[in-house]
Structure 1
Amino acid sequence: MIRKLAAELLGTGLLVYVAVGVATLSFGFGTTGSSYAAGVVATALAFGLVLLALAYVLGPISGCHVNPAVTVGALLTGRIKLLEAAGYWAAQFIGGMLGALLLWGTFACSPLYSRSTTGLGADGWGAASRIHINAGGAFLIEVVLTTLFVFVVLGATSKTSNATVAGLTIGLSLAMCHLIGIPVTGTSVNPARSLGPALIVGGTALTQVWLFIVAPLVGGILAAGLHLLVLPRTTPSPVQ
């Protein structure tokens, strides 16, 4: 269990550090210049590629959930027990906070960085959204995208799937979710990814972070239901 929790903490921390780091560089520092689309693609690929790599490295240890919504899906489909899921959630949120803190410490060493203006890749709606979507729309898209993502994770790691390409499938699905979600909310689909940067940035990001915790968890629940509907459970199978 200690190895599993350490893997979840490390994986979530690395996901936040690298992928949120690319988001901050793209949209905060403006490394993509005037091309917003280039920033979207770069950030989407960063999230997808980091998760792809982590899936193959940490998958054999903990299943590489690195996302409380995925753990909800695994719990409701009988792949892990409640006590183990609680440990995963704690490790993931701590990992997300540590990853965000380390990322902020890195960028704070630059004279061009300002926590209030550069930010830290936080999610949001209203004025914090590229298209100024309201809270209802933000909640809806986060639920839909998380449902899609967790559904793919559960399917790709089921006993009937091909474990060899599971990491690739999962990584690409996360990148796909970010391609549509970034202009709308910044894309969470992962409460631990959202909470860490929001705690560092504070302000609007912190007051709005509840949505990016609740909506992905709802999506995880719906994904578990869809998975059990499409692929009825026979015997519990751990996430690989």
Structure 2
Amino acid sequence: MNNRALAAEAFGTFMLVASVLGAAFYSFGAPAGAAGILGVALSIGCTVMVLIFALGSISGGHYNPAVTLGLVAGGRFEASKALPYIIAQVLGGCAACGIFSLVGHTGASFASNGWGDLSMLKATMSQVFILETVLTAFFLVVIMGVTRANGPSLLAPLAIGLTLTAIHIMAIPISNASVNPARSTATAIYAGGEALSQVWLFWVAPILGGVIGGLFGKWLLDEQG
């Protein structure tokens, strides 16, 4: 396993989670005016876009266990490399949460994902599960499409970043927008309690969606395994 690839995945996930937490914790109550949902969505979309531009050639720029496993399902990534990638991603996300716990002003929920009281719209478990599955599948179809052999590779990071921005605009009011088990696990560990008890869904639904998206994207693009 390439240690530089693992370092890139850990750092990339660190910055992905930091982009969510920084915007969620501080921009809503900024004296100059709240950035709100759009601010959080743009923060993560822009961050992931520039990370893929900067580090994508080293690790592929996954920064998300659901993306890694979706690409395995789609025939784009070796299954033997998936577990080290996922471990690096979770550790990177947890490290970002550690930094923000030192900065403070984090709120009791630590921007965790969830349903019921952890949802802005008090969404149910089934509503959150459906949305997280569908949006992660959407994300993987886009990734499969823009990174195909004859695809618009130079614009792929832009397309992926904009897709993630759109996903967060749609999902923040329902689930606080995960589509990423590493992001959800990291914040749930620091929030504890209800967030930690609900984190299983944010592994199952995004991974299910990622695998569906990877398989559908492979079929849609007529790629041979």
Coarse TM-score class (shorter-chain normalised): over 0.9
Q: 1:59 and 1:114 mapped to 2: Cα distance?
A: 30
CA 1:131–1:53 in structure 2 vs 1: closer, same or farther (change >3 Å)?
same
Gaps of 5+ in 2: none
Q: Which residue of 1 aligns with 2:210?
A: 220
1:97 counterpart letter in structure 2: C
What's the counterpart of residue 110 of structure 1?
A: none
- 2:39 corresponds to which residue? 42
Question: 1:31 deviation in Å?
Answer: 2.6
Task: Say which SS state the counterpart of residue 182 (structure 1) adopts.
Answer: helix
Counterpart in the other structure of 1:238:
none
Q: Give the distance between the partners of 1:92 and 1:32, measured in 2 at CA.
A: 33
Partner of 2:77: 80
Matches within 5 A, 1:135-150: 135-150=125-140
Residues 114/189 of structure 1: CA separation in 2 closer, same or farther (3 Å cut): closer
Residues of 1 paired with 2:172 and 2:49: CA distance? 19
Q: Measure, in 1, the Cα distance between the counterparts of 2:81 and 2:171.
A: 30
Residue identity in the other structure for 2:3: I
User: 1:204, 1:24 → 2: CA distance?
Assistant: 19
Q: Provide Cα deviations, 1:47-104, integer angstroms capped at 9, x if missing partner.
A: 1000001010111100100000110111112222222111111111111111111121
Post-superposition offset of 1:115: 4.6
Give the counterpart of 1:94 among 56, 80, 91: 91
Question: Which residue of structure 2 aligns with residue 31 of structure 1?
Answer: 30
Map of 2:169 onto structure 1: 179
Alignment of 1:5-154 (within 5 A): 5-27=6-28, 30-31=29-30, 38-107=35-104, 113=105, 115-116=107-108, 119-154=109-144
Structure 1 vs Structure 2: percent identity of aligned residues?
Answer: 38
Query: Distance between the aligned counterparts of 1:75 and 1:229, measured in 2?
Result: 14
Task: Give TM-score, length-normalised by structure 1.
Answer: 0.89
Question: Once superposed, which parts of structure 1, at least 4 consecutive aligned residues long, lie more than 3 Å away?
Answer: 32-35
The aligned residue for residue 165 of structure 1 is 155
Shift of the 209–170 alpha-carbon distance from structure 1 to 2, 3 Å rule, reads same
Q: TM-score, normalised by structure 2?
A: 0.94
CA distance in 2, matches of 1:32, 1:131: 25
Amino acid at match of 1:7: A
81 and 150 in structure 1: CA distance in 2 versus 1, 3 angstrom threshold? same
SS state at 1:184 partner: helix
Alignment equivalent of 1:190, drawn from 162, 169, 180:
180
Q: How many residues align?
A: 224
Quickly say closer, same or farther: Cα 1:68–1:171, change in 2 above 3 A: same
